[in-house]
Structure 1
């Protein structure tokens, strides 16, 4: 589990009223005990996609749009794309695409999931993203590295790694601990695109 994923879980546990210790990305005794207590009191395992029941809410922008949806994307890159470079370098390249090619003020995604399961932040969750035309307010956008040549009806495992599968589930769970998520969708549900390269609802059922 990456430090970023653990930090998200620690933040979520803290916001739900548990005591995971400092948000440091280290799965130490206090974080373990808080997670076990959460599970004993009805929480779902971290490999599940059932969203926790929380009254917490993240708000975006000056208008304070409540964040209640997560939209998944893919970078549409080949598995070999920048394979010898770090996820930080890949994020920098995506940021360059968005700023120089699209004219945006920064990277459009809030979270980036590498092929080794590592996770890095992009745009702040409190800022409105730029992932889907007309559907960015109150949405957190997360992108999986990969997905070149994919179809909206493909299976997750056809284009992404097992490490990404686990990391994505952990990311969604962590976000769901910190804001009341009511929908998890794919870019292809809002536009005529293959992205993220699988049917999100089918993938979610695999975790049920």
Structure 2
């Protein structure tokens, strides 16, 4: 049973990366998973935007936008929300609220992040990984942006577990590993590596190297 759930989670993650699936990565076959598979079938089973050009690096690679920028970096963010933010509401409602922030307050066309990770470790897709995100001003081409729910009042040098949960730690590491299997990631950074911000509320290079 666990093998079936893990296999379906992997399928949901792949569909989410391509922009077909917008539900939770939960390993449960529901209407969203069914609709995503039907959408793939309607396109003749084609995997969109993943065929590299002749000059592309050897190995798997994700490309973004019409210019097909190769994805080689992950940038980690936080939502700067309190631990009890929207407590009791479904994760999809939280994603909808962040999407509203980005549309109404920043004027973006949709949520800027590619993935969100909730306090319990649940993962939801935002933009498709084949779309250029909007996480760091002037630094979005070829980047996948991941946002952790939480981080209100954090400092750039806080330890990870001061603001985030063990479940988020495990989910973030697992998501990074899954992305690395699909594209040649050479850098994993935090928003604070690119701007004078506390976000994501910890030093990413220290967190990565923690055993």
* TM-score, normalised via structure 2 length: 0.75
2:9 equivalent to 1:6: yes
Per the alignment, in what secondary structure is the counterpart of residue 124 of structure 2? Answer: strand
C-alpha distance in 2, partners of 1:8/1:150? 34
C-alpha distance in 2, partners of 1:94/1:10? 20
Per the alignment, in what secondary structure is the counterpart of residue 163 of structure 1? Answer: helix
Unmatched runs of 5 consecutive residues or more in structure 1:
12-22, 27-53
Unmatched runs of 5 consecutive residues or more in structure 2:
15-24, 29-57
Q: Using a 3 Å threshold, how does the CA distance of structure 1 residues 127 and 4 change in structure 2: closer, same or farther?
A: farther
Root mean square deviation, CA, Å: 2.4
Question: 1:55: how far off?
Answer: 1.2
Greater RCO between the two (CA within 8 Å, min separation 6)? 1
Question: 1:8: how far off?
Answer: 6.6
Counterpart for residue 192 of structure 1: 196
1:119-156 CA distance string (max 9 Å, x none): 00000000000000000000000000000000110000
User: Displaced runs of 4+ in structure 1, greater than 3 A?
Assistant: 1-6, 8-11, 23-26
Counterpart for residue 92 of structure 2: 88
Q: Using a 3 Å threshold, how does the CA distance of structure 1 residues 199 and 4 change in structure 2: closer, same or farther?
A: farther
The equivalent position to 1:69 in structure 2, one of 73, 83, 102, is: 73
Is the CA contact (8 Å cut-off) linking 1:4 and 1:118 kept in structure 2?
A: no
Q: Using a 3 Å threshold, how does the CA distance of structure 1 residues 56 and 164 change in structure 2: closer, same or farther?
A: same
Counterpart for residue 184 of structure 2: 180
Q: Using a 3 Å threshold, how does the CA distance of structure 1 residues 202 and 57 change in structure 2: closer, same or farther?
A: same
Q: Using a 3 Å threshold, how does the CA distance of structure 1 residues 63 and 201 change in structure 2: closer, same or farther?
A: same
Counterpart for residue 210 of structure 2: 206
Question: 1:25: how far off?
Answer: 3.5
The equivalent position to 2:139 in structure 1, one of 135, 140, 157, is: 135
* TM-score, normalised via structure 1 length: 0.76
C-alpha distance in 2, partners of 1:5/1:204? 27
Counterpart for residue 37 of structure 1: none
**Aligned residue pair count:** 169
